[in-house]
Amino acid sequence: MIFDEAQRAWNLKQTASFMLRKKRVAGFADSEPEFLISYMDRHKDWAVIVCLVGGGQEINTGEAGIDAWLDAVNRRFPEWEMFISSKLTDSEYAAGRVLEIVRERARTQFDDSLHLAVSMRSFRAENVSAFVKSLLDCEKERAKRAFDELSARYPIAITRDLNAAKEWIRARARGTERFGLVASSKAMRLKPHAIDIRVSVDPVHYFLNGRDDTRSSYYLEDAATEFQVQGLEPGITTIFAATAGATFRTPIIESICATLIASCLHARDKVWWFSFRPAMQTIPLARLRSTIQRSII
């Protein structure tokens, strides 16, 4: 069995809720990982479960993260062998305490070859993942090196001018290449820019309609969130970030980067635009700009 996006499997509460609402089964006692492993465990000979994991992407209600799989095997299925990527220890995978526990299991092995470092959909810029990870980890020099390797084929820019961003994208889009606006689902303070993320886009119109349709992503009027574009990334994306506060705090940075990863990482050719409110020109923001902007602009 191959489980894609395994970090998004449901925890016990969410699974029990689904079984009660949809299957009329009360008192369901397994998380989704536990239930699936127990199902495969019925095989008398052998069985294999392949979990494909994306770091930091358990973004919806009830998503358990990869540690739920590790915990399930450790507690209930001691006879199962686990082969784990050595990179699962990185912070974005949030395996944490459970990873340290399973490390002590006799049937657990760590293997470097299990880490898939390059996205096949990002063939134009294989260093994008490294750049985003370095940005999230606040590793300035590593982020600059990764950017230098990808900048020629993978354009990234920063602006405070929404109209300039739209003009830039329209001028560079080729043929039927899809482009659009994306904003963090937490970016409530984009309303002064006429971007209200509380208004949901219709994915059918957003991704399929033509340039003359106001509901289309081409029109650059409605912004989709990271939830609405997962798996259907535009080719070129404009990303917005803003906060009501006067300081640029770490949670906001994480929100921006989560949007980058979730909605844009696999697009073929894109530009990331951060549109900040002028009131946010504080020391923390300046520190962020000194880390990124000198290399990008």
Q: Are 83 and 109 in contact (CB under 8 A)?
A: yes
For residues 129 and 63, state if they share a domain. Answer: no
For residues 80 and 145, state if they share a domain. Answer: no
For residues 197 and 272, state if they share a domain. Answer: yes
**Tokens at residue 24, please?**
């009329």
| Residue that terminates a domain, selected from 85, 114, 143 | 114
Model pLDDT for residues 83-130, shown as the tens digit of each residue: 999 888 776 676 767 888 888 899 999 998 998 876 666 666 667 778
Tell me the residue range of the domain where 16 lies.
2-114
For residues 151 and 210, state if they share a domain. Answer: yes
CA angle, 107 then 108 then 112, to 5°: 145
Model pLDDT for residues 122-147, shown as the tens digit of each residue: 666 667 778 888 887 888 899 899 88
Is the dihedral angle over the CA atoms 85, 2, 41, 71 positive or is it negative?
A: positive
**Considering just the CA atoms, what is the radius of gyration of the chain in Å?**
21
Model pLDDT for residues 158-205, shown as the tens digit of each residue: 888 888 888 988 988 888 888 989 888 888 888 888 888 888 899 999
* CATH code, domain carrying 210: 3.40.50
The number of domains in the chain is: 2
Is the dihedral angle over the CA atoms 28, 29, 33, 38 positive or is it negative?
A: negative
| Residue that terminates a domain, selected from 49, 79, 114 | 114
Q: What is the pTM of this model?
A: 0.62
CA distance readout (Å), 5 to 57, 59, 137, 257, 258: 8, 11, 22, 18, 15
| Residue that terminates a domain, selected from 91, 114, 137 | 114
